[in-house]
Amino acid sequence: MAQVTIGGEDAAETVERWQPPAVTLVDDDVVQARRDAARAFEEDRLYRTAEDAIPIWLALLQHDPKDRVAEAGLKRARQRLLQEASALLQRPLKQREALAQASEMALVLLTLAPDDPKVRELQSRVENAQRVVAYNRAGEDDLRADRIGEDGDGAIPNFREALALDADNPRARQGLAAAESALIRRAETAALAADFATAGTWLAEAAKVRDSSITIADAFERIEKIRSDTLVRLRNEGLRDLATPQGLKPARQKLEDALRIALPGDPVVGQLRERIELVTHYGSFRPRQVFSDALRDGGRGPQMIVVPHGGFQMGAAENELGATDAEKPAHYVRFERGFAMSITEVTVADFRRYVQATKARPRATRRGHSIVYDERSGNFVRRSGVDWQSDYNGAEAIANLPVMHVSVRDAENYATWLSEQTGRSYRLPSEAEFEYALRAGSSGRYPWGDAGTPPARAGNFTGAEDVSPSGRHWYNAFVGYGDGYWGPAPVASFDPNPWGLHDIAGNLSEWVADCWHASYRRAPSDGVAWFNPGCRQRVIRGGNWANAPAQTRAAWRQSQDSDTTSARIGFRLVRGI
């Protein structure tokens, strides 16, 4: 091959041209030269050396421009070269070697027949194929260097240029498929590192490479499987954390990690979030869960129910009928953590276990009297020989009656004993806890709402239809209501409130942990007891069997001396969870 410089008005261009090998002929050699050319043609030796067909035929024509045998031979040689070059351009394998041969053949043909349209067309195809190969090679180099070209510079643009020249070029198509796969690998690598935002970006770039919806769909499923497996792992690890004493903080970190990668509404993340919420607000318990703690002496403590966490407006509204200044101002109280409350008031049987176990002598027992209802006069009077074992009228109390005739210190001492017996922290409820549980999500004047008459079986209240053993009726009572009891009823005789608590609105008023304050100004907002050490005036909450309707309101509260014992006052406990 030789190089020729073409000059002109435009810049000089250097092109390759084919230079035939030199063949020397004399007159006596013509016949033999024809035989040699024919043999070379049959053996497909066309142009490379001076012994090949085309150089010999060219020499024969140079010797005799009218040599018809040489002209015919060159014509057949051109046809063969066109066929072989075309076949080489179609070869799927070893394209570089094939293209080099086809290019060489095209140069030979340009020398033999520069104006032949078929030759010009072949040369154009060769040049096109050379550009395709160059683009493919550049694209493959980019792929090896991880320059995929999603940003417009790299393998993808090179393969697309190749396809623009040859729409069906398999090498370029394979290159685009490889680029797509490389982007999918990046997406999967990001997913394995829990970076699903980046994974989504790479997958979106991969989807632009070519029309391969099945491949992208498969990749999407694999990435979603990685996401799903990661979320399940984080959930399981978080749940294991929650089973340990200090596990809430690491579990919250797992939730944060899960929320970062989860799609909206993912149920697995929802499970972990719900469990963390439960542990945050309820420890190992669940809202409304009923349980009782074992006692060291082999018995069981009172049945408890878990009160849900939340907030409420405590106290009476400014314009509430029957409200006093002691119930104001209304203020918001929130409990960030639930608590357990005894489902019923503490019973005579419960209290007897404590007295027998500790040999305790409660206040009324030591003092020798308490306040009872006197049927003959219809009044409450002091009577000797009455204590925690007595009913509202001084008679012996049955085991499942709520214990009455106990002071606030008697109630606190029982809570201390129960805590020692169970290893748990029992105490009187704070005033806020009591009203929160009493209202149970409602905000009306009464625990059941604003209706002036309680619903049937709502509790043991002063009903106009109640009748004493001697035929007495209440002077100030709920019109149209009767519960069948004159005096306290056995615990759980009536329907529970919406949070599962019996008798909290009636039966007996109950001691709470707070000291008495004349109003709610400066009252705690977190629901803890408002207590001043050494205070004598304490608080009772909730209506009772002998209270007027105004004293059955949800906000009603009353001051009592800490030594008070009465047939209208009992208690229930709360326990931390």
- Kindly indicate the confidence band of residue 234, based on its pLDDT and cuts at 50, 70 and 90: very high
pLDDT at site 320? 96
Residue 550 CA to residue 198 CA, distance in Å, equals 65
Quick one: 422 exposed, middle or buried, by C-beta within 10 A (0-12, 13-18, 19+)? middle
pLDDT at site 90? 85
- Kindly indicate the confidence band of residue 15, based on its pLDDT and cuts at 50, 70 and 90: low
Could you say which DSSP state residue 326 is in?
G
- In this predicted structure, the answer to whether residue 422 has a pLDDT above a threshold of 70 is yes
Question: Domain 304-361+400-575 has what CATH class?
Answer: alpha beta
Q: For 134-167, write each residue's pLDDT tens digit.
A: 999 999 999 999 999 988 889 999 999 999 999 9
- In this predicted structure, the answer to whether residue 1 has a pLDDT above a threshold of 70 is no
Total residues found in the chain within this entry: 577
pLDDT at site 6? 32
Token look-up 């040689």 returns 77
Query: Contact at 8 Å (CB) between 46 and 40?
Result: yes
pLDDT at site 25? 84
The predicted model scores a pTM of: 0.71
pLDDT at site 91? 80
- In this predicted structure, the answer to whether residue 174 has a pLDDT above a threshold of 80 is yes
pLDDT at site 173? 94
In the chain, what are the domain boundaries?
2-114, 225-282, 304-361+400-575
- Classified as helix, coil or strand, 307 is strand
Residue 442 CA to residue 316 CA, distance in Å, equals 13
Residue 118 CA to residue 126 CA, distance in Å, equals 12
Mean of pLDDT over the chain: 93
Q: Which residues is 331 bridged to in the sheet?
A: 314
Q: How large is the average pLDDT for residues 489-511?
A: 98
Residue 437 CA to residue 429 CA, distance in Å, equals 10
> Phi and psi for 233 in degrees, rounded to 5?
-65, -45
Q: Say how far residue 506 (Cα) sits from the centre of its chain.
A: 44
Token look-up 């019996």 returns 502
pLDDT at site 11? 39
Residue 55 CA to residue 62 CA, distance in Å, equals 10
Q: For 179-223, write each residue's pLDDT tens digit.
A: 999 999 999 999 999 999 999 999 999 999 988 779 999 999 999
- In this predicted structure, the answer to whether residue 4 has a pLDDT above a threshold of 80 is no
- In this predicted structure, the answer to whether residue 308 has a pLDDT above a threshold of 80 is yes
- In this predicted structure, the answer to whether residue 10 has a pLDDT above a threshold of 50 is no
Token look-up 């800490």 returns 562
- In this predicted structure, the answer to whether residue 7 has a pLDDT above a threshold of 90 is no
- In this predicted structure, the answer to whether residue 505 has a pLDDT above a threshold of 80 is yes
